[in-house]
Chains A and B, each alone.
Chain A
Amino acid sequence: MTCRERTSQLVECARGHASPDRELRSHISSCDNCRERWEAERQLTAHLSGIRVRMAAAKSPAECRAALMQEFSRRHRRKSAPSWVWSLAAAAAIVMALFIGHEAGARSRHTTSPAVRTRSVSTRDGVVYEVSTDPAVLSDDFVEIPYTPPLATGEMVTMIHTEMYPEALASMGVDVDPTWAEHIPVDLAVGQDGLTHAVRISYNQQ
């Protein structure tokens, strides 16, 4: 066995604080280089052991741990936030969908005037018009009032016969001369919400 091979044994013995076996001891006693190395390794092990024992006390301050735990909690809260965000987003999407649906329905209702979508129904109290989608039974002489919400399908309307100033009628979109001096007889279609939704000039009443 060469000195180089024995050096490996020396190192392991020194590291483990073990005594070399007989053959190695014999070699150490007869080889100056290996003896010197053996002493150096033993001293090194002793110094390293001293450092290890003393440095075992070194540790991060408690504040580091507290700061990390705080950071962990903060990140976890933030990490769980997406579920809230998704919930809110889902709710917002539903609301938006309802709104869009409502608006789309409103636009479709706007495209056909109440005059087109109503038909007369006789009752004991007078003439009541029912909103219908059947164009065959609808009259087309009503003008939708632009600043009131549209009638819903199936909503009942009550016809009120009255007179109005031409200027007011013109503001409702009825094609009349606003400077006309006399009142004009009209039929107002009043919805179940109590609002006037459409108007027509009631020539028959004149």
Chain B
Amino acid sequence: MRPVPIEASDEDLYRLMRNGNPDAFAQLYERRAPALHRFALHMTGNPAISEEISHEVFIQLMGPTSHFDETRGSLESFLYGIARNLIRVFRRQGPVAEPVETSFNPDLLGELIGNETSQMLHRTLRDLPERYRDVIVLCELEERSYEDVATILGCPIGTVRSRLHRARALLSAKLKRLHTASEVISA
């Protein structure tokens, strides 16, 4: 079995894993799974489903029907593409957005999300249209560059930027309305 070089690209690791190299698969998993899991968690708000999605992404990657073509994009983009498709499937199947704050471990998730406003923001984020939610999660919560996100989403950089600005405006407006409503209730 060929040793896996640490500096191997995702695509190199993919080729090695397709040839049955478990170390390459393990390295690829360590490299990409955490971000994919967080992405799914942000998008669905459900830890159990996000686990299932990140697991299924790698199951599909190792499966016989995996048709990654590196001439058409990066492996990372391919993985996010699988994850986004799975998220769509889960969302079509029903309401997946069982609140992240209560569906898993309230104490842990309370710690994860933080204060009430942040929790509210996270819920609001999940109500955004998918194209806006994608860019908020990738650009803001995963701190990916516009170039990276454009590659992952397969759209121009300008589109990423304009969607992000629009998404932020929507989030700000919703937060403002929620604050106003809570102030009215408390008054």
Contact surface of A with B, Cβ cutoff 8 Å: 7-8, 11, 15, 37, 40-41, 43-45, 47-48, 50-52, 54-61, 64-65, 67-69, 71-73, 75-76, 79-80
CB–CB A57/B22 < 8 A: no
Pairwise interchain contact A58-B112, C-beta atoms closer than 8 A: yes
Q: A72-B25, A73-B22 are in contact. List 15 more A-B contacts (CB 8 A).
A: A43-B175, A44-B171, A44-B172, A47-B121, A47-B175, A48-B136, A48-B140, A51-B114, A58-B41, A60-B55, A64-B33, A68-B62, A69-B22, A69-B29, A80-B20
Asked if B26 and A51 sit within 8 Å, CB to CB, the answer is: no
- B170 CB to nearest chain A CB (Å): 10
Bound CA span A65–B34, Å: 11
Q: Which residue of A lies closest to B17 (CB)?
A: A72
Number of residues from B at the complex interface, CB < 8 A: 42
Q: Which residues of B contact A15 (CB under 8 A)?
A: 140
B141 to chain A, nearest CB (A): 5
Instruction: Give bound CA distance, A43 to B37, whole Å.
Output: 26
**Best-buried of B42, B47, B51, B118 by chain A (most CB within 10 Å):** B118
- Complex Cα distance, B30 from A69, in Å, reads 12
Once A60-B55, A69-B25, A69-B26 are accepted as A-B contacts, the answer to whether A55 and B141 lie under 8 Å apart by CB is yes
Which residues of B are in contact with A by a Cβ distance under 8 Å?
17, 20, 22, 25-26, 29, 33-34, 37-38, 41-42, 47, 51, 54-55, 58-59, 62-63, 111-115, 117-118, 121-122, 136, 140-143, 161, 164-165, 168, 171-172, 175-176
Q: Which residue of A lies closest to B30 (CB)?
A: A65
**Contact in complex: B122, A59 (CB < 8 Å):** no
Enumerate chain B residues within 8 angstroms of A11, measured Cβ to Cβ: 164-165, 168
Q: Is the CB of A51 within 8 A of B33?
A: no
Asked if A47 contacts B54 (CB within 8 A), the reply is no
In Å, the complex CA distance between A82 and B106 comes to 49
Q: Which 6 residue pairs of A and B lie closest in terms of their CB atoms, listed nearest first?
A: A40-B172, A76-B20, A48-B140, A60-B37, A54-B112, A52-B141
